[in-house]
């Protein structure tokens, strides 16, 4: 199996430091087309291709843009979420690195569609090496008249600002990200008001992931409907995924929806040493887990098929854990991440992560009781239902699914829990 080239079609085709090089391969043609269209027609194009947000929430992107257009206000903002703090997820990094001008063009199109005047790229602190690349792209776009005042003579004014976070995973959540841009502590807030009405600096805001935005220029120029030829009826097109863990060739791949999970693993060179797969986690650290059975591996990578077996597309992460790592050790590692990244603002997440970490240690030691196991499951359920933001709501996805997928691992015997 070979990966496809729709979203990644520009990779390696131009000098990423030169806007002239980008324009030679058709760069900014999508923007020139967009400014001749009504914004609602642009949103309809995205909806027609059934694009769901690539940041993890899987919200209908065409609907999101249409809703954002209808919000009253002349001082709107577009935000590109390039925080990408989810472990095993690094596909946005490749889009920034290999096609920065396409991202800038996409943000300008988004600004035109929504009637926004400003755009922010919120980039994770660990991607500091890409700041010069993006700042150069912004500067050159401004010099060529694609940013600033009266863009392409259409009376459209738009500027882009690059903002680096401080390395907090929780800032990938929309309201925490916005607070960080505002210079406040990056902690989530209650909704409503929703950010489309009152976002950064209390201005109407539309926030999209890097991959979501990067699709837009390609879709506007896709007159032959190539994108719709990929995928399935309900999961249309292609998806960027980052495969990590015990595979021979970890990396980022663009695949058509509908690709079987075993073929994705084969694309990454197969499992190291031909070992048995212990755990598959899809969707990043907050993703759910499954065993590496033949039935699971034969599942197509689509929103609906993954949902049917208790998994989700999420952020595009794809982690393969082989038999050398026990289920409990995997969960302990995952829990260590969330315990570290919890902002501590809400009780369910702050206290829940601490207690679940302790219970997982007791399982590893073989000293946990059945009552403690039951309490651990209850705490995980409470976290998923009552935490303030997506971190707390999804932090125990791996544990809650593991309890059902690997029941033997959580069975209390006379000698304690079997650590497997």
CATH number at residue 376: 1.20.1440.230
CATH number, residue 31: 3.40.50.11540
93 and 162 housed in the same domain: yes
pLDDT score, position 58: 86
Q: Which residues contact 68 (CB under 8 A, 6 or more apart)?
A: 76, 114, 196, 204, 206
339 and 310 housed in the same domain: no
DSSP structural state of residue 231: B
What is the token pair recorded at 248? 């021979």
185/198 Cα distance (integer angstroms): 18
Q: Is residue 207 part of a domain?
A: yes
Q: Is residue 13 part of a domain?
A: no
Where is the domain boundary, 322, 341, 364? 322
What is the token pair recorded at 61? 């992107």
pLDDT score, position 417: 54
pLDDT score, position 416: 53
161 and 26 housed in the same domain: yes
47 and 184 housed in the same domain: yes
210 and 237 housed in the same domain: no
Q: Is residue 153 part of a domain?
A: yes
Q: Is residue 27 part of a domain?
A: yes
7/238 Cα distance (integer angstroms): 8
61 and 199 housed in the same domain: yes
pLDDT score, position 100: 98
The dihedral over CA atoms of 89, 92, 94, 95, expressed in degrees to the nearest 10, equals 160
301/135 Cα distance (integer angstroms): 36
Q: Is residue 12 part of a domain?
A: no
Q: Is residue 4 part of a domain?
A: no
Residue 84 and residue 168 in contact, taking contact as beta carbons nearer than 8 Å: no
31 and 78 housed in the same domain: yes
How many domains in the chain?
A: 3
Q: Is residue 2 part of a domain?
A: no
What is the token pair recorded at 304? 């609906």
Residue 171 and residue 83 in contact, taking contact as beta carbons nearer than 8 Å: yes
Residue 317 and residue 244 in contact, taking contact as beta carbons nearer than 8 Å: yes
Select from 289, 245, 285 the least CA-distant residue to 264.
245
pLDDT digits 0-9 by tens, 213-254: 999 999 999 999 999 999 999 999 999 999 999 999 999 999
Select from 302, 291, 295 the least CA-distant residue to 330.
291
303 and 371 housed in the same domain: no
Where is the domain boundary, 267, 292, 322? 322
Q: Is residue 5 part of a domain?
A: no
Where is the domain boundary, 306, 322, 338? 322
Could you give phi then psi for residue 295, rounded to 5 degrees?
-60, -40
pLDDT score, position 55: 84
Give 79's strand partners.
120, 207
88 and 159 housed in the same domain: yes
Buried b (16+ CB within 10 A) or exposed e, 382-406: bbbeebbbbbbbbbbbbbbbbbebb
Positions in the chain whose pLDDT score sits under 50: 420
Residue reference for tokens 């005047």: 117
Write the Ramachandran bin of 335: left for phi over 0, alpha for psi from -120 to 50, otherwise beta. alpha
Select from 93, 86, 362, 69 the least CA-distant residue to 210.
93
270 and 375 housed in the same domain: no
| DSSP SS3 for 50 | coil
Residue 176 and residue 390 in contact, taking contact as beta carbons nearer than 8 Å: no
305 and 331 housed in the same domain: no
Q: Which residues contact 412 (CB under 8 A, 6 or more apart)?
A: 368, 369, 370, 373
270 and 342 housed in the same domain: no
Domain around 281: 230-322
CATH number, residue 312: 3.10.20.600
């Amino acid at each position: 199996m070979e990966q496809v080239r729709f979203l990644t079609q520009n990779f390696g085709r131009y000098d990423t430091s030169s806007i002239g090089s980008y324009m030679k391969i058709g760069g900014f043609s999508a923007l020139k087309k967009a400014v001749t269209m009504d914004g609602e027609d642009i949103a309809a194009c995205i909806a027609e291709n059934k694009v769901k947000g690539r940041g993890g929430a899987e919200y209908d992107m065409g609907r999101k843009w249409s809703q954002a257009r209808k919000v009253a206000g002349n001082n709107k903002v577009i935000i590109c979420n390039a925080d990408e703090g989810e472990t095993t997820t690094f596909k946005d990094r490749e889009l920034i690195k290999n096609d920065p001008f396409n991202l800038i063009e996409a943000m300008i199109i988004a600004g035109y569609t929504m009637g926004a005047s400003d755009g922010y790229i919120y980039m994770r602190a660990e991607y500091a090496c890409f700041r010069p690349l993006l700042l150069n792209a912004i500067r050159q776009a401004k010099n060529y008249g694609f940013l600033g005042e009266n863009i392409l003579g259409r009376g459209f004014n738009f500027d882009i600002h690059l903002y680096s976070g401080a390395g907090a995973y929780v800032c990938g959540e929309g309201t925490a990200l916005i607070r960080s841009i505002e210079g406040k502590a990056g902690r989530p807030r209650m909704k409503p008001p929703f950010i489309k009405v009152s976002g950064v600096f209390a201005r109407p805001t539309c926030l999209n992931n890097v991959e979501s935005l990067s699709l837009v220029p390609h879709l506007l120029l896709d007159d032959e409907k190539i994108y719709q030829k990929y995928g399935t009826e309900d999961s249309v097109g292609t998806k960027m995924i980052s495969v990590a863990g015990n595979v021979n060739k970890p990396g980022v791949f663009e695949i058509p929806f509908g690709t079987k999970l075993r073929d994705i693993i084969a694309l990454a060179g197969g499992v190291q040493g031909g070992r048995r797969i212990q755990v598959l986690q899809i969707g990043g650290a907050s993703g759910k887990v499954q065993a590496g059975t033949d039935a699971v591996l034969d599942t197509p990578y689509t929103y609906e098929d993954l949902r049917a077996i208790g998994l989700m597309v999420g952020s595009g992460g794809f982690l393969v854990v082989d038999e050398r790592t026990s289920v409990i050790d995997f969960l302990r590692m995952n829990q260590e991440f969330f315990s570290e990244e919890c902002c501590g603002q809400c009780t369910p997440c702050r206290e829940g992560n601490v207690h679940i970490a302790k219970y997982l240690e007791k399982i590893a030691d073989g000293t946990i009781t059945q009552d403690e196991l039951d309490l651990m499951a209850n705490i995980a359920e409470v976290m998923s239902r009552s935490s303030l933001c997506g971190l707390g709501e999804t932090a125990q996805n791996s544990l809650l699914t593991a309890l059902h997928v690997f029941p033997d691992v959580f069975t209390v015997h006379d000698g304690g829990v079997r650590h497997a």
